[in-house]
């Protein structure tokens, strides 16, 4: 069933011309880049259809279990390049377009990023979808078809400005609208008891309509579906009002409904607390569960079999209403008894936790929950009562506390398995936030360390390194990443080390050209490219990196003739619009960049680059060109990280703390090939016991005092000298993420990195070892873990 067998270059050429002519209605002499992109996308999509249908057929025939991955976020990025890579069509399409005088790269760049997510959690969901297809695990992703994905970031005088994102402004060639697949989603109203049954009389309803995107796996052997729901009105517009001339009121029902799938909440770690957000969570969850039950009942009639046929994964607590909603559908719609409904729901559901930060643990007031979802509030109370009486737990383990529904507890109680996303994170779940629940539901918590797809993150984004890998260890590593370990046997081969170095340099030159075009800066590709890209958050400690940059700058200025290792410091990332401290950090990085980049004394030795609007596509550009990966969060705060894995696969060395998956990366690549600094999670806990930890640490560090002094004097904000006084004050008096306490250790470690970089051959050796040790971090390994330990599903390959 390999779709590739019958794709000849000639047939593809014909397809593209046909789509240009008949789908786009253009002849070649008038076709724009957009037209070409659409024609190519439709042609590549055509080739995905066959494995897509075949996968559906096989799944029906096998009568096995299907996986349903429910997520409010899918950060999929661009699709065309990825699909061509999976199908092995990259070179063919490039040649076809070359003949037409069109550049494939321009076509790829014309596609907007599908930014239906904020950060790690959303990108993980996208990697998982791809791996499930590669592994022929029958699965659906369920999400929301946001009309506006994550905001576009722009800098104005160094500050972040958010602009609306508009990816659906043009037709999306990868989606199939399914008007026939639609479900009614109720809200509000009241519940009545009749004949021992509960009847919910909703006051508002919207339709959820399905939009399907095929997700093709490696070599086109299998394709699953990402089903995104769009909200549509249940009532058409009000003709009477329209005829009387009140056009705005006439369109009101439509506007109201569509609001539900209009925007992605641009929060990554804080609860938004908005009614609309709760409605979005329910909208996705209810549509998905209705669809799951409809599909199940089309094949079976005994609902008690549901847990044998359906595994549902809740991606964080955002879809945690799945517990009460599944019980509601089974009882109120399908007539099951409470005990049966609850047992079945529990048998299907699982929950992944992605953060221990207290501000990110969702709660909803019982008042709001009761108003928006009155029937669910009843069900939640009954789940809670049984949970408390069955476990005899302490009151602080209740689902409802102080008039708030704790979604983490609800998800936990209604899940067969609860998993963390790295070994350390899972341990900390058991010891901290979920210690009590772990006590009353022992062995429910398990670990599944995150992974990333090597197809997008190495093969597609780093063709230069991919070639070196295939030349050295042979073909096939893309779907068997443990094979990268074979590289280790080539460590003594000078040519291999050189080739790895040459691939890196090639990528750095390409990145330099891009930065030159976009930002008018000219970078030195022989300098060390030192990169920190991720959401801007205090716990990720971008501030510590900037402080080190300032220390470096001062040191060079004090001794310009010294033996310095040239560096380019690269930052990328967005801040949640309401997270003002993070936005100040962005402003600060840009101010520091401006000061340093204008200093002729340090120009050849230090540059600071912060391209605006970091997204998946930018990550694909930056990661292959990185020498040093910054993974410097306060130990215990980063659940896993996934960027850290992408860098390692691409031969960057890591400077990092013992946090999240860094711990496992270091184990896999070897401690001597990893630049470790800073306190451990346990030491961090002890440090917090010292009330004036920040002051003490600053007083003990001359470099840090000097840096804070410069900032306080306004060196980086000459037109507004007091701009960063609050930042300096917060450092002395609060420093909630222990930047000061880890700073000297970080500085010393960075000096070690400088020394290591001066020996290019040795650096390439370390890079080789990092690549060789990165096989474990393929999301294929992660998905196999979920299939075996959580879903109990089999590959249909
Ligand atoms: C992130 C975690 O911060 C990151 O460490 C992890 O690698 C990633 O999930 C995938 O597991 N969390 C989020 O993106 C997030 O929004 C709030 O968490 C619920």
Indicate if the pLDDT at residue 354 is higher than 90: yes
Q: Is 450 in the pocket of ligand 1 (CB under 6 A)?
A: yes
- For residue 108, give Cα distances in angstroms to 40, 77, 87, 160, 217: 10, 11, 15, 27, 19
Residue 474 neighbours by CB distance under 10 Å: 10
Q: Is 408 in the pocket of ligand 1 (CB under 6 A)?
A: no
| Residue among 257, 111, 104 nearest 170 (CA) | 111
Residue of 123, 444, 646, 666 marked catalytic: 646
Q: What pLDDT does residue 46 have? A: 97
Indicate if the pLDDT at residue 271 is higher than 80: no
Residue 513 neighbours by CB distance under 10 Å: 13
685 Cβ contact list (under 8 Å, min separation 6): 636
CATH number 3.40.50.20 given to 518-759: no
Residue of 26, 148, 444, 540 marked catalytic: 540
Would residue 721 show up in a list of annotated catalytic residues for this protein?
A: no
Q: Is 452 in the pocket of ligand 1 (CB under 6 A)?
A: no
| Dist. CA 640 → ligand 1 center (Å) | 7
Residue of 65, 123, 535, 574 marked catalytic: 535
Q: What is the percent of the chain with per-residue pLDDT over 90, rounded to a whole number? A: 94
Pocket test for ligand 1, best of 271, 355, 661 (most atoms within 8 A of CB): 355
**How confident is the model over 48-70, as a mean pLDDT?**
97
| Dist. CA 355 → ligand 1 center (Å) | 6
Separation of alpha carbons 402 and 418, rounded Å? 25
**How confident is the model over 753-763, as a mean pLDDT?**
98
Q: Is 269 in the pocket of ligand 1 (CB under 6 A)?
A: yes
Residue 209 neighbours by CB distance under 10 Å: 20
631 burial (CB, 10 Å; 0-12 / 13-18 / 19+) is: buried
Q: What pLDDT does residue 1 have? A: 37
**What does the block give as tokens for 91?**
């070179």
| Ligand 1 nearest-atom number relative to CA 122 | 14
CA dihedral 92, 96, 102, 103 (to 10 degrees): 10
Separation of alpha carbons 669 and 631, rounded Å? 15
| Ligand 1 nearest-atom number relative to CA 642 | 7
Q: What is the mean pLDDT of the chain?
A: 96
Q: What pLDDT does residue 610 have? A: 98
**How confident is the model over 730-739, as a mean pLDDT?**
98
For every residue of 709-733, DSSP letters joined together read HHHHTTTT-TTSTTTTHHHHHHHHH
Please report how the helices 779-786 and 120-134 are oriented relative to each other, as an axis angle in degrees rounded to 10.
80
pLDDT tens track for 414-462: 999 999 999 999 999 999 999 999 999 999 999 999 999 999 999 999 9
Q: What pLDDT does residue 662 have? A: 98
Residue of 145, 354, 375, 537 marked catalytic: 354
Q: What pLDDT does residue 4 have? A: 59
Residue 328 neighbours by CB distance under 10 Å: 22
Confirm if 416 and 350 have CB atoms less than 8 A apart.
Answer: yes
Total-model pTM: 0.98
**How confident is the model over 637-655, as a mean pLDDT?**
98
Separation of alpha carbons 619 and 647, rounded Å? 10
Q: Is 650 in the pocket of ligand 1 (CB under 6 A)?
A: no
**What does the block give as tokens for 711?**
């900032």
Longest dimension (CA), the chain: 89
Q: What pLDDT does residue 388 have? A: 98
Token pair 């990108």: residue: 123
- The backbone torsions φ and ψ at residue 519, rounded to the nearest 5 degrees and listed phi first, read -120, 0
Separation of alpha carbons 638 and 642, rounded Å? 10
Phi-psi label, residue 188: left if phi above 0, alpha if psi -120 to 50, beta otherwise:
left
pLDDT tens track for 687-723: 999 999 999 999 999 999 999 999 999 999 999 999 9
| Dist. CA 781 → ligand 1 center (Å) | 19
Phi-psi label, residue 219: left if phi above 0, alpha if psi -120 to 50, beta otherwise:
left
Indicate if the pLDDT at residue 241 is higher than 80: no
Would residue 534 show up in a list of annotated catalytic residues for this protein?
A: yes
* pLDDT band at residue 267 under the 50/70/90 scheme: confident
Indicate if the pLDDT at residue 535 is higher than 70: yes
Q: Is 51 in the pocket of ligand 1 (CB under 6 A)?
A: no
The DSSP bridge pattern shows strands 628-631 and 653-656 to be parallel
Q: Is 421 in the pocket of ligand 1 (CB under 6 A)?
A: yes
Pocket test for ligand 1, best of 123, 639, 777 (most atoms within 8 A of CB): 639
- For residue 131, give Cα distances in angstroms to 4, 128, 454, 476, 785: 19, 5, 9, 15, 12
Pocket test for ligand 1, best of 75, 354, 451 (most atoms within 8 A of CB): 354
List, by residue range, all CATH 3.40.50.2000 domains of the chain. 63-78+113-450, 518-759
| Residue among 705, 713, 784, 792 nearest 744 (CA) | 705
Q: Is 643 in the pocket of ligand 1 (CB under 6 A)?
A: no
| Ligand 1 nearest-atom number relative to CA 660 | 5
| Dist. CA 585 → ligand 1 center (Å) | 20
| Dist. CA 370 → ligand 1 center (Å) | 29
Indicate if the pLDDT at residue 5 is higher than 60: no
Residue 635 neighbours by CB distance under 10 Å: 26
* Between 242 and 232, the higher pLDDT residue: 232
Would residue 646 show up in a list of annotated catalytic residues for this protein?
A: yes
Please report how the helices 662-669 and 423-431 are oriented relative to each other, as an axis angle in degrees rounded to 10.
140
Indicate if the pLDDT at residue 3 is higher than 60: no
Any bridge partners for residue 212, and if so which?
A: 176, 227
* pLDDT band at residue 117 under the 50/70/90 scheme: very high
| Dist. CA 183 → ligand 1 center (Å) | 30
**How confident is the model over 78-95, as a mean pLDDT?**
97
Q: Is 316 in the pocket of ligand 1 (CB under 6 A)?
A: yes
| Dist. CA 435 → ligand 1 center (Å) | 20
Q: Is 639 in the pocket of ligand 1 (CB under 6 A)?
A: yes
- The backbone torsions φ and ψ at residue 453, rounded to the nearest 5 degrees and listed phi first, read -85, 120
Would residue 642 show up in a list of annotated catalytic residues for this protein?
A: yes
Q: Is 659 in the pocket of ligand 1 (CB under 6 A)?
A: no
Q: Is 320 in the pocket of ligand 1 (CB under 6 A)?
A: no
pLDDT tens track for 144-160: 999 999 999 999 999 99
The architecture CATH gives domain 63-78+113-450? 3-Layer(aba) Sandwich (3.40)
The helix, strand and coil proportions of the chain, stated in percent and rounded to the nearest 5, come to 55, 15, 30
| Residue among 602, 622, 418, 612 nearest 529 (CA) | 622
* pLDDT band at residue 7 under the 50/70/90 scheme: confident
Indicate if the pLDDT at residue 2 is higher than 60: no
Confirm if 103 and 297 have CB atoms less than 8 A apart.
Answer: no
**What does the block give as tokens for 545?**
């990196």
Q: Is 124 in the pocket of ligand 1 (CB under 6 A)?
A: yes
Q: Coil, strand or helix: which one is 139? A: strand
**How confident is the model over 477-500, as a mean pLDDT?**
98
- DSSP letter at 403 equals T
């Amino acid at each position: 069933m390999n779709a590739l067998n019958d794709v000849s270059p000639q047939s593809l050429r014909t397809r593209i011309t046909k789509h240009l002519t008949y789908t786009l209605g253009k002849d070649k002499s008038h076709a724009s880049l957009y037209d070409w992109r659409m024609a190519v996308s439709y042609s590549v999509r055509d080739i995905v259809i066959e494995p897509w249908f075949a996968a559906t057929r096989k799944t029906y025939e096998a009568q096995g279990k299907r996986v349903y991955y429910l997520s409010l976020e899918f950060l999929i990025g661009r699709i065309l390049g990825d699909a061509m890579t999976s199908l092995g069509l990259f070179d063919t399409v490039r040649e076809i377009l070359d003949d037409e005088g069109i550049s494939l790269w321009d076509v790829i760049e014309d596609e907007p990023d599908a930014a239906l997510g904020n950060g790690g959690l959303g990108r993980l969901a996208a990697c998982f979808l791809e791996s499930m297809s590669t592994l022929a695990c029958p699965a659906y992703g369920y999400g929301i078809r946001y009309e506006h994905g994550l905001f576009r970031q722009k800098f104005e005088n160094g500050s972040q400005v958010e602009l609306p994102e508009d990816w659906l402004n043009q037709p999306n060639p990868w989606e199939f609208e399914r008007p026939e697949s639609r479900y009614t989603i109720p809200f509000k109203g009241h519940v009545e008891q009749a004949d021992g049954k509960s009847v919910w009389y909703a006051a508002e309803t919207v339709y959820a309509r399905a939009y399907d995107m095929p997700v093709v796996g490696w070599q086109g052997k299998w394709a699953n579906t990402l089903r995104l729901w769009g909200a549509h009105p249940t009532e058409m517009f009000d003709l009477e009002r329209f005829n009387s001339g009140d056009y705005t009121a006439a369109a009101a029902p439509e506007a109201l409904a569509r609001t539900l799938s209009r925007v992605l909440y641009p929060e990554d770690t804080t609860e938004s607390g908005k009614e609309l957000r709760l409605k979005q969570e329910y909208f996705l969850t209810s549509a998905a569960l209705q669809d799951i039950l409809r599909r199940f009942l089309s094949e079976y009639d005994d609902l008690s079999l549901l847990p044998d046929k359906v595994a549902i994964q809740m991606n964080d607590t955002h879809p945690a209403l799945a517990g009460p909603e599944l019980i509601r559908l089974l009882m109120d719609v399908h007539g099951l008894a409470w005990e049966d409904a609850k047992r079945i729901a529990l048998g299907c559901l699982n929950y992944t936790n992605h953060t221990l930060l207290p501000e990110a643990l969702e709660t909803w007031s019982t008042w709001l929950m009761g108003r928006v979802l009155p029937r669910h509030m009843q069900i939640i109370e009954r789940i809670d009562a049984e949970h408390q009486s069955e476990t005899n737990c302490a009151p602080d383990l209740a689902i409802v506390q102080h008039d708030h529904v704790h979604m983490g507890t609800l998800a936990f109680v209604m899940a067969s398995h609860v998993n963390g996303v790295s070994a350390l994170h899972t341990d900390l779940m058991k010891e901290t936030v979920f210690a009590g629940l772990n006590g009353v539901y022992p062995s429910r918590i398990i670990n599944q360390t995150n992974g990333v797809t090597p197809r997008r993150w190495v093969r597609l984004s780093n063709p230069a390194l991919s070639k070196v890998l295939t030349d050295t260890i042979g073909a096939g590593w893309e779907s068997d990443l443990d094979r990268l370990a074979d590289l280790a046997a080539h460590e003594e081969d000078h040519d291999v080390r050189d080739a790895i170095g040459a691939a890196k340099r090639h990528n750095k030159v390409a990145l330099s050209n891009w930065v030159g075009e976009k930002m008018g800066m000219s970078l030195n590709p022989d300098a060390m490219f030192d990169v920190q890209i991720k959401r801007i958050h205090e716990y990720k400690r971008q501030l510590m990196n900037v402080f080190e940059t300032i220390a470096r700058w001062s040191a060079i200025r004090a001794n310009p003739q010294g033996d310095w290792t040239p560096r380019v410091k690269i930052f990328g990332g967005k801040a949640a619009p309401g997270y003002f401290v993070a936005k100040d950090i962005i402003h600060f990085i840009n101010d520091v960049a401006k000061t340093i980049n204008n200093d002729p004394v340090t120009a050849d030795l230090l540059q600071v680059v912060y391209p605006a609007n970091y997204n998946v596509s930018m990550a694909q550009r930056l990661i292959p060109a990185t020498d040093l990966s910054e993974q410097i969060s306060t130990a215990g705060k980063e659940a896993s990280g996934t960027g850290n894995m992408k860098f390692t696969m691409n031969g960057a060395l890591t400077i990092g703390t013992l946090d999240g998956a860094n711990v496992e990366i270091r184990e896999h690549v070897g401690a001597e090939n990893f630049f470790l600094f800073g306190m451990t999670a346990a030491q961090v806990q002890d440090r917090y016991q010292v009330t004036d930890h920040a002051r003490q640490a600053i007083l003990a560090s001359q470099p840090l005092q000097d840096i804070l002094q410069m900032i306080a004097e306004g060196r980086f904000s000459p037109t507004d000298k007091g701009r960063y006084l609050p930042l300096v004050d917060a450092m002395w008096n609060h420093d909630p993420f222990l930047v000061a306490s880890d700073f000297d250790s970080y500085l010393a470690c960075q000096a070690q990195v400088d020394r290591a970089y001066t020996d290019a051959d040795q650096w390439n050796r370390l890079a080789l070892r990092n690549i060789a040790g990165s096989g474990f971090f393929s999301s294929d390994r992660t998905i196999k873990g979920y299939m075996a330990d959580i879903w109990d599903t089999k590959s249909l390959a």
